[in-house]
Chain A
């Protein structure tokens, strides 16, 4: 490799790095700005919320807005609902996707190809197109306006199944063959050889499910009609409705409260989340 060519290439780039990093910094600022503003405004007193210029660090920080949220809506109930719904869906998806993904990757059975095709095809079907019949199916099961009605239809996950199939396909076949030779049946082979190795893949499915369903708005809006079954995003939008433009800081305090778990998942589950999204582009 010619040293000269490479370094001349570098010379042409020499001026760029600062501009590049500055440009990226501006973009990062634009991306995070609204979030920073939300947190800082939620810590102002309702009276100072409209102040311009917006103070990045509130001059007299106050948790008054947060008390306001707890007065206006039953935050604990909403959080409990959101936690129940999201947690059960995440666990449910990890189980269904893990099992189905393994079956598609490692087991032999009839109609394997058409069934997998069916699963892939449903990834293309938007929820909004099927929502009216889904609503009617749930109604016939008396599950509208219940949390179960949100949870059960979300158990099967086409994308999660696809992801887990890829994950199991990536594991060496020899492991299972060795177990088979040692006399392990299909269940033992799955249970003691492959399932333990699948944990990182399952984490991806779980984190993706948590993030999606914690923030979900459309299905709860349609299915949950009585306030006691609201999830956090629904409660928030109704909080905004209650107050009109009366107090921004209370509304934003509610937003911050509902963001906290999503942010926690971002911090803890950043890698699985990223891998889940990236693999959508690379594996297909």
Chain B
């Protein structure tokens, strides 16, 4: 069907080309505009009502004291002052940044190593088995995975400590000590998320023309050197996307610490989003919660902008 339709259309092109000034029928043009309006309305209205207005709303709300019950009172910047004076909020920002650094670094490293390894020679079926295995945790819910992990990382009867016992390692208080809890949250998060970067890398590697590797092999590059000097620069656009998406996602972490530790012990795993949730929906302090939200947004914007700026030096487009 496509074959019979395409040739006449191709033939028609040269005739139309010399007369670009010829007016299109106005009715059709109007039809196209009307159609565009109808087609875009649901998306644009939805985005305005549920994203654009709420962003402005967050900024406005952060300037008010409001608990939904009493009428809102103008507070100026005092919510921000309160937020900066609140040690829990400050700790949550520090926790979130620490989480982000380790989670993203680990996730990218594992994903990159696996993507490069799986790209070597092996039977097709085996490659697809591995690929599916690494990608599988992505389809599961972070909340239910965290429920499962809570048992696996239990200090007394968890399978992880039982396994470590074989190597002679004493039971680790994975979720109950301030030092280990954040590491556990990172592990659980990375376990579920590395498949995302892995898939991005697989796509990126497939996009690298074979000839480049063959040329590099002819020049004598092999093994690790080939990866460092040839593959990585060519993969750098994908690395940028993976790290930008990874960072934006990591800064929003919620389910894992909420289910695994509920922010504890102490505040050691309390993240910014947990603080937003608690401040707004448990303590009904909507103004303060909005101020924290605005700060998180600013942080995400700043980190992303910084990344794009840095990437200008390291990212190579073919």
The interface of chain A, by Cβ under 8 A from chain B, is 1-2, 5-6, 9, 12-13, 16-17, 20-21, 23-25, 27-28, 30-32, 34-35, 37-38, 50, 52-54, 95-97, 99-100, 102-104, 107-110, 115, 118-119, 122, 124-137, 152-153, 155-158, 161, 172, 174-175, 177-178, 180-181, 185-187, 190, 211, 214-218, 221-222, 233-234, 236-237, 240, 248, 251-252, 255, 258-259, 262-263, 265-266, 270, 273-274, 277-282, 284
Contacts and interface: CB of A to CB of B under 8 A. Distances in A.
12 contacts: A21-B126, A54-B159, A100-B39, A103-B36, A109-B33, A122-B51, A124-B301, A132-B290, A137-B54, A157-B43, A186-B31, A222-B281
B54 A130 contact: yes
Interface string B137-161: 1111111110111111000010100
Interface of B: 2, 5-6, 8-10, 12-13, 28-29, 31-33, 35-40, 42-47, 49-55, 57-58, 61, 110, 114, 117-118, 120-122, 126, 129-130, 132-145, 147-152, 157, 159, 162, 191, 195-196, 199-204, 207, 214, 217-218, 220, 222-223, 238, 241-242, 245, 248, 251-252, 254-255, 259, 273, 276-277, 280-281, 286, 289-290, 293-294, 296-297, 300-301, 304
Contacts of A107: 32-33, 35-36, 39
B218 A259 contact: no
A186 B122 contact: no
Contact of B222 (A12, A37, A270, A282): A12
B241 A186 contact: no
A37 B162 contact: no
Contact of B134 (A31, A233, A259): A31
Contact of A24 (B45, B117, B199, B294): B117
Nearest to B146: A237
A262 B140 contact: yes
Contact of A248 (B40, B118, B151, B222): B151
Contact of A280 (B121, B129, B245): B245
B289 to A, nearest CB: 5
A192 B42 CA distance: 22
B144 A255 contact: yes
A155 B42 contact: yes
Contact of A128 (B145, B222, B293): B293
A137 B49 contact: yes
Nearest to A221: B277
Contacts of B203: 278-279, 281-282
Given A37-B152, A174-B6, A178-B8, A185 B31 contact: yes
B15 to A, nearest CB: 10
A119 B139 contact: no
A133 B58 contact: yes
Given A16-B120, A21-B122, A174-B6, A281 B238 contact: yes
Given A124-B248, A131-B280, A216-B141, 6 more contacts: A28-B130, A109-B36, A122-B47, A134-B54, A155-B46, A215-B143
B141 A217 contact: yes
Contacts of A100: 39-40, 42-44
A153 B255 contact: no
Contacts of B304: 124
A155 B48 CA distance: 12
Contacts of A284: 241
A172 B148 contact: no
A283 to B, nearest CB: 10
Contact of A236 (B49, B55, B110, B144): B144
B218 to A, nearest CB: 6
B51 A236 contact: no
A195 to B, nearest CB: 11
A156 B42 contact: yes
A277 B9 contact: no
Contacts of A185: 28, 31
A133 B53 contact: yes
A172 B6 CA distance: 9
